[in-house]
Structure 1
Amino acid sequence: MEKYRKIAGKCLAAVLSAAMALSLAACAGGTGSSESQSQSAKQEAAAEKPAQATGEKIVNVGVTGTVNTLNPLLMDGVEINKYATGLMFLPLMELDTNMEFEPMLADSITAEDEKHFLVHIDDEAVWSDGQPVTADDVVYTALRLCSPAIANTAMMYYVFEGVGDDGFVEMGADHIEGITKVDDKTVRFATKEPMSLVTFQNSYARYLMPLPKHVIGEIPEAELASHEWFAKPDVVSGPYRVTAFDKDHYVSYEANEKYWKGAPKIPKLNIRIVEGSQLYAGLQSGEIDITQNTMSAIPLEDYESLQALETVETSFGDAITNQSVFINTKNVPDQKFRQALLYAIDRNQILEQLLKGNGEVVDGFLSTASPYYDPSIEPVSYDPAKAKELLAESNWMPSSPLRFYIDSGDSTFVNAASVIAAQWAAVGIQTEIRTMDINTLMSTAGSGEFDIMAVQYTYPPVDPYVDIAWLLGGEGSWTGYSHAEAEEALSKIAVLSDKEELKEQYGIIDRRMQEDVPMFSAYVIRTMAAKNKRLTGVNPSVYGFFNHVEEWDITG
Structure 2
Amino acid sequence: MKLKAIFSNLALATALSAVALSAAPAFAAGKMTVSSPQDPGSWDPIDTFLVNWASVATNIYDGLVYRGPDLKIVPALATSWEELDEGKRIRFHLRENVKFHNGEDFNAEAVKFTFERLLGEEGGKGPQRSNYVAIDKVEVIDDKTVDLHLKDTDPVLMIKLAGYGAMIVPPKYIQEKGDDFFNANPVGTGPFKVTSYKPKVGIQMEAFADHWGGAPKLSELEYRFISEPATAVAELQAGRVDLVIPPTIPISMIPTIQSDPKLEIVTTAGPTVHSLRFNTRDGITADPRVRKALILGVDRDTIIQSILGGQAEAIGSLQGALSFGYDPELKPLPYDPEAAKKLLAEAGVKPGATVQIDIRGNDATLNEVVQAISSYLQMIGITATIKPYETNVLLNDIIPQGKTGAMFQQSWGGWTFDYDNTAYSMYHTGEKWNPYDDDPKMNEMLESQRAITDRAKREVILKDIAKYAAERALEMPLYNQKAIYGINKRVKDFVPAPDSRLRLTEVSVD
Smaller-chain TM-score range?
0.7 to 0.9
Are 1:93 and 1:105, in contact at CA under 8 Å, matched by a contact in 2? yes
Identify the match of residue 520 of structure 1 among 476, 479, 489: 476
Q: Does 1:471 align with 2:423?
A: no
Are 2:325 and 2:459, in contact at CA under 8 Å, matched by a contact in 1? yes
Whole-Å Cα distance in 1 between the matches of residues 183 and 439 of structure 2? 47
Which residue matches 1:92? Answer: 64
Whole-Å Cα distance in 1 between the matches of residues 443 and 121 of structure 2? 33
Are 1:139 and 1:181, in contact at CA under 8 Å, matched by a contact in 2? yes
Identify the match of residue 462 of structure 2 among 496, 506, 520: 506
Whole-Å Cα distance in 2 between the matches of residues 99 and 518 of structure 1? 29
Secondary structure of the structure 2 residue equivalent to 1:551: coil
- Give the gaps of 5 or more residues in structure 1: 1-54, 163-176
Which residue matches 2:95? Answer: 122
Task: Give CA deviations for 1:278-325 in whole Å, capped at 9, x if unaligned.
Answer: 32233223322223325xx12333211111222223112334333322
Q: 1:307 to 1:503 in 2, by over 3 A?
A: farther
Which residue matches 1:532? Answer: 488
TM-score (norm 2): 0.79
Are 1:110 and 1:197, in contact at CA under 8 Å, matched by a contact in 2? no
Identify the match of residue 327 of structure 1 among 265, 278, 293: 278
Secondary structure of the structure 1 residue equivalent to 2:273: strand
Q: Does 1:482 align with 2:439?
A: yes
Whole-Å Cα distance in 2 between the matches of residues 523 and 229 of structure 1? 34
TM-score (norm 1): 0.73
Secondary structure of the structure 1 residue equivalent to 2:505: helix
Are 2:94 and 2:145, in contact at CA under 8 Å, matched by a contact in 1? yes
Which residue matches 1:142? Answer: 115
Whole-Å Cα distance in 2 between the matches of residues 301 and 506 of structure 1? 35
The offset of 1:362, in angstroms, is 0.6
The offset of 1:225, in angstroms, is 1.9
Paired AA for residue 473 in structure 1: H
The offset of 1:363, in angstroms, is 0.8
Q: 1:402 to 1:434 in 2, by over 3 A?
A: same
Which residue matches 1:28? Answer: none
The offset of 1:135, in angstroms, is 0.9
The offset of 1:67, in angstroms, is 5.0
Which residue matches 1:494? Answer: 450
Q: Does 1:387 align with 2:350?
A: no
Secondary structure of the structure 2 residue equivalent to 1:119: strand
Whole-Å Cα distance in 2 between the matches of residues 229 and 492 of structure 1? 36
Task: Give CA deviations for 1:27-52 in whole Å, capped at 9, x if unaligned.
Answer: xxxxxxxxxxxxxxxxxxxxxxxxxx
The offset of 1:347, in angstroms, is 0.6
Superposed CA RMSD: 3.7
Which residue matches 2:159? Answer: 201
Paired AA for residue 504 in structure 1: V
Which residue matches 2:198? Answer: 246
Task: Give CA deviations for 1:481-512 in whole Å, capped at 9, x if unaligned.
Answer: 6373x444322321345554443222212222
Q: Map 1:239-318 to 2 at 5 A.
A: 239-275=191-227, 276-294=229-247, 297-318=248-269
The aligned length equals 473
Are 1:149 and 1:222, in contact at CA under 8 Å, matched by a contact in 2? no
Q: 1:317 to 1:147 in 2, by over 3 A?
A: same
Q: Map 1:343-492 to 2 at 5 A.
A: 343-388=296-341, 390-391=343-344, 394=346, 396-397=348-349, 401-407=353-359, 409=361, 410-427=363-380, 429-438=381-390, 439=393, 443=398, 446-447=401-402, 450-473=405-428, 477-480=434-437, 482=439, 484=441, 486-492=442-448
- Give the gaps of 5 or more residues in structure 2: 1-27
Q: Map 1:54-93 to 2 at 5 A.
A: 56-71=29-44, 75-93=47-65
Are 1:255 and 1:267, in contact at CA under 8 Å, matched by a contact in 2? yes
Task: Give CA deviations for 1:365-389 in whole Å, capped at 9, x if unaligned.
Answer: 1112323322222222212344345
Q: 1:554 to 1:319 in 2, by over 3 A?
A: closer
Which residue matches 2:129? Answer: 156
Whole-Å Cα distance in 2 between the matches of residues 184 and 201 of structure 1? 24
